[in-house]
Amino acid sequence: KAGVTQTPRYLIKTRGQQVTLSCSPISGHRSVSWYQQTPGQGLQFLFEYFSETQRNKGNFPGRFSGRQFSNSRSEMNVSTLELGDSALYLCASSLDNYQETQYFGPGTRLLVL
């Protein structure tokens, strides 16, 4: 089985722009979670989608949003980028995520200038 894939792998944007990141889960997985990793804050949970519905959300501003499609692929969007949004964005998929193992992708590294 192919693993979790994320595109693009690297991205450079400027302040004020918006960005969309994509995640394709492992085939058959219906839950997709997003995490942000920075040197200062470590790994932080953004949100989780299951069957096209956001089921759980972390403590991030409304500029961070996401969605999930019927094929379980997911996108996350960050609007009005700030310098502090520079981070590694990780996507993880699981069968259902209720105590299930999460499988992480390689991440998208976003640099905001």
Give the binding site for other proteins (CB under 8 A).
Answer: 4, 31, 33, 35, 42-45, 48, 55-56, 58, 90, 92, 97-99, 101-107
Closest contact distance (angstroms) between CB of 90 and other proteins is 5
Distance CA 23, CA 50 (A): 14
Least Å distance, CB 86 to other proteins, is 16
Q: Closer CB to other proteins, residue 70 or residue 101?
A: 101
Min. distance of Cβ 81 from other proteins in angstroms? 22
Ranges assigned E (strand) in 1-113? 5-7, 10-13, 19-24, 31-38, 42-50, 53-57, 64-68, 74-78, 87-94, 103-104, 108-112
